[in-house]
Structure 1
Amino acid sequence: MRLSKTEHRTRPWRVHEIAADFQTEDVWAVRTPGGGPDDLPRMVSSLISADFPAGAPLPVRVVWNVRWKLGALLGWDREKDGIGRRVPSLMTRMPDDLVAAPRGPEFEGVPFTSLYQLHDEWAAEMANRTVHTIMHVGWVPDGSGGYRGQLTVLVKGNGRFGAAYLAAIMPFRRLLVFPVLLRLIERGWRQSAPAAG
């Protein structure tokens, strides 16, 4: 379920310290039934190991593959436009305690790099010719005594081209990609539940 952007902006996340010039693009609630106060690592693991896009329905796989094929054809995803090339890593903005914190897991086959992982939040970044993006996962009380994930996408478009790109992909991202990704994360969460003892 998509949430108001204030759900991210009003919480005291450490990511605010390094991303003041990024826009909050989307905030999503991730259902994690039975989640406790110390379960952020399990939530992040469910995200990292989500079978996306391979486990997504055909329309989502088609949209995803078209985006990456266009990116290859038009040079959107070249190494020279990534982190440390077109834009410096946000690690250069991090205060010493975040630099010293665990970075968290890395994706396989997806161009995101973990920045840090704390008790209640994890952040990773990615950049290409169109945008510099942060994927932020917060761990918040769910209002019924448990905890749930809160997935936020923060963006900094690369000029007018980046702004046009973000506007063009918004319907696909909101109607297809993220709802399916959330279902896959939630399925991974359920499958990783500790066995009842």
Structure 2
Amino acid sequence: MKLKLPNTEYTSRPWRVHEFTDDFEVEDVWKLPTYGGPDDLVRLVRQMTDDDDSAIADSNIIVRTLWSFRWKLGALLGWDKPDKGLGKRVMSLRDRLPSDLREVRGPDMLVTPFTSVYQTHDEWLAEVANSTVHALMHLGWVQDEKGDYYAQMTALVKPNGLFGKLYMWGISPLRQRLVYPPLFRAISREWRMHQAG
């Protein structure tokens, strides 16, 4: 199954996220191997945010090593200091939300520093900011031509100056080849395990 999708698979859909993210760039759009019913987004979000069942924690050693290296490098170089993050260097997207979305926040991720912005029946948005980038992870619950539902994951970014653009360019091959494939396999494995249970 082809998991990488064209950006139009995200931009052409009537997601609420489009209302307040026109200053972000679409970095990647992926089809996650998580087939289910019309109301299963909540289960996927729970899977993505549960510390015990995190796909990152369950993915292969390369992914865990890369995440660990990134956080250690960030600590060493000061990329992730509190004054470089949300509410300091950049405003949280929660400050831009219309009132109806402020009332449906959703859970934060525990293994990574992504914090939830909002969650509806078919969308979940989380964000992280540091000295390199303000990044968003959008999960949308999509119906295919056969009537099945699956998750579409989109990464949106606003790099912090030239350094942020170079950082995003430098990590792109690592994300595409070493991080996403095993991460998506782990998500699929957990999804099927919970469906069977």
TM-score interval, normalised by the smaller of the two chains: over 0.9
Change over 3 Å in CA distance of 1:52–1:75 after alignment to 2: farther
1:138 aligns to what?
A: 140
- Cα distance in 2 for partners of 1:36, 1:192 equals 14
1:91 aligns with 2:131: no
Q: Does the 8 Å CA contact 1:52/1:181 hold for their aligned counterparts?
A: yes
Q: Does the 8 Å CA contact 2:63/2:179 hold for their aligned counterparts?
A: yes
Shift, 1:60, TM fit: 2.4
2:67 aligns to what?
A: 64
- Cα distance in 2 for partners of 1:8, 1:68 equals 29
Paired letter, 1:81? K
Shift, 1:143, TM fit: 2.1
Paired letter, 2:168? L
Q: Does the 8 Å CA contact 2:56/2:111 hold for their aligned counterparts?
A: no
Query: Structure 2, unaligned stretches of length 5 or more?
Result: none
Change over 3 Å in CA distance of 1:167–1:85 after alignment to 2: same
1:160 aligns to what?
A: 162
2:40 aligns to what?
A: 39
SS across alignment from 2:155: strand
Change over 3 Å in CA distance of 1:19–1:115 after alignment to 2: same
Change over 3 Å in CA distance of 1:32–1:56 after alignment to 2: closer
Shift, 1:72, TM fit: 1.0
Q: Which runs of 4+ in 1 moved over 6 A?
A: none
Shift, 1:142, TM fit: 2.4
- Cα distance in 2 for partners of 1:103, 1:54 equals 24
Paired letter, 1:79? P
TM-score (norm 1): 0.92
Bigger mean CA deviation after superposition, 80-89 or 54-63: 54-63
- Cα distance in 2 for partners of 1:23, 1:141 equals 24
SS across alignment from 2:63: helix
- Cα distance in 1 for partners of 2:91, 2:46 equals 26
The count of aligned residue pairs is 193
Q: CA RMSD in A?
A: 1.4
- Cα distance in 2 for partners of 1:84, 1:157 equals 16
State percent identity of aligned pairs: 52
Q: Does the 8 Å CA contact 1:46/1:186 hold for their aligned counterparts?
A: no
2:182 aligns to what?
A: 180
Shift, 1:52, TM fit: 4.2
Shift, 1:55, TM fit: 2.4
Shift, 1:48, TM fit: 2.0
2:76 aligns to what?
A: 73
Shift, 1:135, TM fit: 0.5
